[in-house]
A and B are shown apart, each in its own frame.
Chain A
Amino acid sequence: MKIKDGFIMRDVLDKTMVVPTEEAGKDLHGFIRLNATGKFIWNAIAEGKTIEETAKAMTEAYEGLSEEQALLDVQGFVEKMKEAGVFEE
């Protein structure tokens, strides 16, 4: 799983956003807002972690998060990002 070229993830004030650039070949009005979990997963994928490795890292970072739930969260996020054309295999 990787992030397609041309997307910028950026903190804006107290929020985090994903912004496409023309290099991404996308409609320029398609910004995506990320919460803290989304940002965590994004950074993990950007570092080259697999979905499973990302879920594992999440259980270490977030107390009380089971491995099953973490995996579901990561898979869900990755699916959304693939549908949006931001992530690809």
Chain B
Amino acid sequence: MNEAPLYLRIADLLVEIDGWDDGLRAFRKFSVDPSALDAEPVPDLRVKYVPSVTEEPWLRLHRLLSEALIEKDVLLFHASAVALDGEGYAFTAPSGTGKSTHAALWKLYYGERLVFVNDDKPFLVFRDEEVFIAGSPWMGKHRRGENVTVPLRGIAFLNRDKENRLTGLSPVDGYMELMKQVFLPPTKEGMEKVLALLERVVTKVPCYRLACTPDQAAVEAASEMLRREGQ
């Protein structure tokens, strides 16, 4: 059993994980070498991992971390997020709709200008009056993501269609959709916190509906997000 804590940098936070004895390659873009820290490091957040028989360890740790991060105004978001020239865009939809596919098409289209922030579950980060999107070790099955935090400039709710069209979504409608795609804590207090954070998202970040085909034309339609100031 490895008694030494694990240190990760997630968004702007130094996170200490205690009780995790299974080193994983998945952490490597996020782990902090202890020699780079002070002799007595002061983490921003401590998460105690305690195994359970019902929950698979990697998922359990993700859930414990996600719950703890809410206190630091960091919220798990089920989306595929990219950064184009350092500006973040997120695509979200029910599983299987094609958000990973769409993000991959952005990479093909924009090449070097585009990096994946996180292809499965990035974190929304609330700092001052801004909303950012950040990478995380849990990157989904394609393992696409980086340890970056970028300002979030648009959220597109995807659905498959025969034609490509981007339309603006009102803040309230965006809010209702977002609620289905973020981590919802089990407590009332946690829930109130998340609802307040969601309100900040839709007042700051333009939301859109994107009807799209699984090909390059979809990226052209979606790229209208880059040119709009909002609705």
Contacts and interface: CB of A to CB of B under 8 A. Distances in A.
B195 A12 contact: yes
A13 B172 contact: yes
Contacts of B191: 8, 19, 21
Interface stretch (A22-30, A40-48, A62-70, A79-87): A22-30
B115 to A, nearest CB: 32
B186 A29 contact: no
Interface residues of B, number: 19
A51 B36 CA distance: 65
B180 interface: yes
A21 B172 contact: no
Interface size class on chain A is 10 to 19
A23 B187 CA distance: 6
A4 interface: no
Nearest to A5: B188
A49 B188 CA distance: 24
B172 A29 contact: no
Contacts of B176: 31
Interface of A: 6, 8, 10, 12-15, 19, 21-23, 28-29, 31
Given A21-B185, A22-B187, A31-B176, 6 more contacts: A12-B172, A19-B179, A21-B184, A21-B187, A21-B190, A22-B185
